Amino acid sequence: MKFSLSGVSGTLSSARLHLYVMSSLFDSTLDSTSPLANPGLGECRVFHIDDYGDLESSDFAASSIGNDPGVLISGTETPEVGYISIDITAAMEDDLDHGRPFTTFMIKLSTNTDGDWGSDQWYFGSSESGTGMDPYIEYLLASPLPWTQVNSDGFDGDAGNIFVQDMEEFNGYIYAVTFNSNT
């Protein structure tokens, strides 16, 4: 799955990928009642991958480009129907830093099959038109400091001001007490 980064700028403070777990399939038996049966194929992991353009069958073997978010559902977990989330801050920051137009992920079970010919998988909500169960990313940008420097560096260019001893806010301004080695 991929999400456009168009319009996202600044320093990322945090980002979480939210996925709606609809049901599970264990040995071809559908379970849509909480808690869901675990399909028994190990961890359900989220991998950070390069943008695949239009999805093709070869994309299911895409390699990680690093900063993988990790385990979404453990191999023994039995989640409730509903949204679960995973931290994707490092992956999304990497995409922003490299100017990628999308942040892109692959969800994969650690084991492809248990060999019993039964279907085993997780079902996540998704649609083209919006269902209220679609995946989404929630992110926060770091706030810029609310203060603006109004003096020159070094407190008016006096090289004797070698460090700030104390700072205090008063009526919306920050005042600094400096130590001057010459006075």
**Where is pLDDT greater, at 94 or 160?**
94
**3-state helix/strand/coil string of 41-96:** CCCEEEEEECCCCCCCHHHHHCCECCCCCEEEECCCCCCCCEEEEEECHHHHHHHH
Convert the pLDDT of each residue in 171-181 to its tens digit: 777 788 887 77
Q: State what percent of residues in the chain have pLDDT above 70.
A: 94
pLDDT of residue 50: 93
pLDDT of residue 97: 93
Q: What share of the chain is helix, strand, coil (3-state, %, to 5)?
A: 10, 40, 50
Q: What is the DSSP letter of 36?
A: P
pLDDT of residue 52: 87
| Count of other CB atoms within 10 angstroms of residue 3 | 19
Q: Is the pLDDT of residue 38 over 80?
A: yes
Average pLDDT over residues 68-92: 97
pTM score, whole prediction: 0.75
Q: Is the pLDDT of residue 36 over 90?
A: yes
pLDDT of residue 145: 65
Q: Residue 55: CA atoms inside 13 Å, Cβ hemisphere, count?
A: 7
Average pLDDT over residues 140-153: 74
pLDDT of residue 181: 75
pLDDT of residue 32: 96
